[in-house]
Chains A and B, each alone.
Chain A
Amino acid sequence: MKVKELLAAVIIVLFFLLCYFFSPKPVQFSPTVSVVVIILLSLAFVYVFIRTFQGKFIGRRTVFVFVGVSLLLPFFMQFSLPVLISPEVRSVYDALEELPPGSKVLASFDYDPASAPELQPMADAFMKYAFEHGLKVIIMGLWPQGPQQADQSVQAAFAENPGLRDSIKYGRDYVNLGFQAGNEFVILRMGESFKAMFPTDLYNTPYDSIPLLKNVSNFSNVDFGMNFSAGKPGTVEWVQIASDRYKLPMGAGNTAVQAPMAYPYMKKGESGRKQLIGLLGGMAGGAEFEKLTKKQAKATTYLLSQSFAHMVVIMFIIIGNVAFFREKKEKE
């Protein structure tokens, strides 16, 4: 093990131990400090810009340092940016608004902790909205960890609005059917009968003894489908089977990487029916939905960090092009 490598490891460990024992908890920059930090970041960019212009191009690791810093510092600052509602998020909200109280909503949680930063905030907002508007939520998951993420949303809704804790009863107002392996074949079989796919719920109570599911045999007895998806199986499979074949009106929440795949399904076909009614795309979609459901929380605070990181990437694209033209000029 080279000395340099050992030195680097020791420095990292020391830094984190210092933070653990000596840093104030929590760290909060005053507005002036925040502005100073932003100015310093901008100056660093200008410096890199000039060096590139002079022909000394920066490497990958400089890009990594800039991204790391620009993601972390905004955590400690305190101002949030205006959020504009996009049509895709608006149509999900309107579809939920039209559902009369007592309507049954099938919420499928198809993601894992790795995608939680992007999908958990919007799932929490959806669960709180559903409970407050008397929607009956049937939770299930095509990913093993989905139902656990759903449970976190339920607890977050109870913590956010303690009044819900006694008005919302498990089994009558919401039920968690748990995970079922089999990807899209789960949806297929649910088209015939939910009970065949979920003989018991997450807590092993039989399907028939759950009051909420008394008259629910398949998709035709459910009024709306909401799917939080981070990959396969996810929104594409739900649209292909639940929406195309069984005509379940579908909304979805996607990680930003999955969202482009879902856009074609939102075009109104000739019959006027949208395969996918609306889409909450990534963190921005989550923040917009939070604003619509009047519950500004994690998604909004994360958005500031994300905006900084976005600006860093855009700056580096510009710097990259400067480097390219500088190289071309040198060749000529």
Chain B
Amino acid sequence: MKRELPLTIAFIAGIAFIIAYFIPHPPFNRFENWFSDWFAIIAAFAIWLGALNLMKISFIKIIRKKSDWLHAILIIISFVIILFFGFYEGYRGLHADPPFSFRDPGTSFDWIYVNVYTPLSATMFALLAFFVASASYRAFRARNLEATLLLLAAFFVMLGRVPVGDIITGWLPMEYQMSQWASWIMNVLNTAGQRAIMIGIALGLVSTSLRIILGLERAYMGGD
């Protein structure tokens, strides 16, 4: 009951969605849309488990005065604040006339989004500008032939995508300028490599999906 039934459910669901791809006749053509809605609803329930886990761990840190208990308080406070405004604005938006969404500009939820969430998210993303530089400094060294190819390709594409590259090769006719090399590397060499990887991924993914549907990979089921 604990293992055999779930594996059968997985098998039936897998086969159903493979067949649905080939049958346009209703209801099969609706499977993909139904699944996307079901998944969204299940995920909306599951996030309660995650949030409760985050709160539990933070509370334990505070009660047991662990090293970073101050930050646990901050996590709980910011979580509760945005939760309060999210529900408040959402509820108020539903019953307002004309109704508005909690995301609309001007709501307090949007204020948190614009002034707290977005700067944190954008700045964390922007740290990549520094990390990409330090990674290049460390990794692009001509250790062997493969590393040299990696280095040269990055070098030429980087130079080609910026006007400086064309200034250096200005004396060449238009189609042999640095930016055209970069475009050629991207359009031909990069396409070839991407295709080999994509085909490989497709085959690997089909094999993994099949192993899961046939119940050979049952790790996700856990113990009895």
Query: Complex: how many Å from CA A104 to CA B36?
Result: 28
Q: Cβ of B27 < 8 Å from any Cβ of A?
A: no
| Chain A binding surface SS class | helix
B145-180 CB contacts (< 8 Å) to partner A: 151, 154-155, 158-159, 161-164, 166-167, 177, 179
Across the two chains, which residue of chain B brings its CB closest to A327? B141
C-alpha gap A321/B152 in the complex (Å)? 12
Count residues of chain A with CB under 8 A from any CB of chain B: 57
List residues of chain B with CB within 8 A of the CB of A259: 186
Chain B: interface residue total (CB-CB under 8 A): 48
Is there an interface contact between A260 and B194, defined as CB atoms closer than 8 Å? yes
Contact residues of B between 78 and 120, Cβ < 8 Å to A: 98-99, 103, 105, 118
Q: Which of B105, B141, B177 has the most CB of A within 10 A?
A: B141
Whether B162 lies near A306 (C-beta < 8 A) is yes
Asked if A114 and B121 make an inter-chain contact with CB atoms under 8 angstroms apart, the answer reads yes
Q: Which of B11-19, B54-62, B132-140 contacts A (4 or more CB under 8 A)?
A: B132-140
Q: Which of A82, A84, A281, A312 contacts B133 (CB 8 A)?
A: A312
Residues 74-89 of chain A: 1 if any B CB is under 8 Å from the residue's CB, otherwise 0?
0000000111101110
Give chain B residues whose Cβ lies under 8 Å from the Cβ of A112.
118, 121
- Contact check, B163 vs A303: say whether CB atoms are below 8 A apart: yes
Inter-chain contacts of A204 with B (CB < 8 A)? 98-99
Listed in ascending order, the chain B residues whose CB lies under 8 Å from chain A are 32-33, 35-37, 40, 98-99, 103, 105, 118, 121-122, 125-126, 129-130, 132-134, 136-138, 140-143, 151, 154-155, 158-159, 161-164, 166-167, 177, 179, 183, 186-187, 190-191, 194-195, 198
- Which residues from chain A sit less than 8 Å from chain B, CB to CB? 60, 63-64, 66-68, 71, 81-84, 86-88, 112-116, 144, 148, 179, 181-183, 185, 188-189, 203-204, 256, 259-261, 263-264, 266-267, 281-282, 284, 303, 306-307, 309-314, 316-317, 319-321, 323-324
